[in-house]
Structure 1
Amino acid sequence: MKQPLTIHLTTVQHDIGEAALFEQMSQTSHIDFVRLAQSAQEQQETEERFEMYVRGEAEVKNGTFVLRYMETELTGMAGTETTISFDVHNRDCVTLLRSGEVKTALTFLKGQRSISTYDTPQIPFSLCVYTMHMKNDLQLTGGSLVLEYLVEIRGAFAQHNRLVLQITPVREDEAEVFPASDEKKVSDRSDEMDVSEKI
């Protein structure tokens, strides 16, 4: 049975310049990446914050927790469905899939990197994600997912991202959809989102 949800999504992003995520990981330790992220956070002028509320649904099917929601114009990915899933017996490995106008598949596992293709209507990009921290207590009854990671598009600068996704079951007496005022974006550059800001 699918559980209707209210999803509160918050991200904080910092530009970090070149991170060389596509290079061999044996050359860069987890501690080095942590220091790189900490240095970026000290540069407050590069900080970008984003906050959004949307409706979604979740279910547990064949031992896999699956959360789905539609992106909105606020993320620059309207018409795209995002699916977050993980094995209920292995919460430390989370998969994020996007399908529709934007297509990508990413795996988040602490201390590991994931290389994928990010397809947009304009052009595909190669990107690499390195997961620094994860806390996952998502359940059908509610909970949250915290991801801290570095993301780099090949040939471009990298970012340090912190994503917090909180879910709450929808009550039967709640409205079917949010009024427009319940979806919001908090950003210093609301009209200049690049590809890395949509990941």
Structure 2
Amino acid sequence: MSNKIIIKTKQYDVDGNMDTIELKVYGKLIEKNDSIYIKYNQREEDMEVKNTIKISKDCIKVIKSGSVNSTMTFVKGEKHTNRYATPQGIFLIDTKVNDFKISNGEKKLEVHLDYMIEIQNMFAGRNKIVIKAEK
């Protein structure tokens, strides 16, 4: 069974400029061992990326494999350095979570993630992500 998944990201740079990215896909929502997994595939041009978002009480992990390989870890109040491998090279991404909230209802899951991001002195800013998945 496929679940409708909407991921909306608002990205703010240090000057306050904002970009919005919205992704609508179908994937799988799996609840297992006190964690929720959202799995979906993304295809852009001739690249395919398999995505898994693992959501637990105090940690969110975003795992990408395929044309992009990465495991990004988000823990409230903690800073993490993550490797992000792309066809263009490997980037180090620093993240520090300001807040996240999880609402796991009977018919839908909603996750709010707010974090600071810095990509190897190329970009610094703040991301606010809302993930909605129908059950």
Report the TM-score when normalising by structure 2.
Answer: 0.89
Structure 1 partner of 2:81: 115
Instruction: Report the AA paired with residue 131 of structure 1.
Output: V
Please say which structure displays the higher CA radius of gyration.
1
Shift of 1:122: 1.5
Structure-2 residue corresponding to 1:60: 31
SS at match of 1:80: strand
State the distance in 2 between where 1:67 and 1:47 align: 26
C-alpha distance 161-126 of structure 1, shift in aligned 2 (>3 A): same
Distance 2:123 2:99 in 1: 21
> Is the 8 Å Cα contact of residues 109 and 131 (structure 1) preserved in structure 2?
yes
Q: Deviations over 1:10-57 (max 9, x none)?
A: 1111111xxxxxxxxxxxxxxxxxxxxxxx5xx3xx110111210010
In 2, Cα distance between the equivalents of 1:136 and 1:9? Answer: 14
- Partner of 2:68, secondary structure, is coil
- Does residue 85 (structure 1) correspond to residue 54 (structure 2)? The answer is yes
> Whole-Å Cα distance in 1 between the matches of residues 20 and 75 of structure 2?
24
TM, length-normalised to structure 1: 0.62
Give the aligned partner of residue 10 of structure 1: 8
- The answer to whether structure 1 residue 99 and structure 2 residue 53 are counterparts is no
Q: 2:115 — aligned with what? A: 149
| Higher RCO (CA-CA < 8 Å; seq separation 6+) | 1
Give the distance between the partners of 1:55 and 1:129, measured in 2 at CA: 27
**Cα 1:11–1:52 shift into 2, 3 Å:** same
**How far apart are 1:116 and its partner, in Å?**
1.1
More helix by share: 1
Structure 2 distance, partners of 1:85, 1:55, is: 16
Distance 2:95 2:75 in 1: 10
CA distance in 1 between partners of 2:37 and 2:105 (Å): 10
Query: What is the deviation of 1:61?
Result: 2.9
Which residue pairs with 1:179 in the alignment?
none
**Given the alignment, which residue of 112, 127, 132 partners 1:161?**
127
- Counterpart code for 2:89: I
Alignment RMSD, CA only? 2.0
- Give structure 2 stretches of 5+ with no counterpart: none
Name the structure where strand makes up a greater proportion of residues.
2
Offset of 1:139 from its aligned partner? 5.9
- Listed as ranges, the matches of 1:27-66 within 5 Å are 43=16, 46-66=17-37
2:102 maps to which residue? 136
Unmatched runs of 5 consecutive residues or more in structure 1: 17-39, 170-199
Instruction: State the 1:119 CA deviation.
Output: 0.1
Secondary structure of the equivalent of 2:134? strand
Match of 1:194 in 2: none
Number of residue pairs the alignment of both structures matches:
135
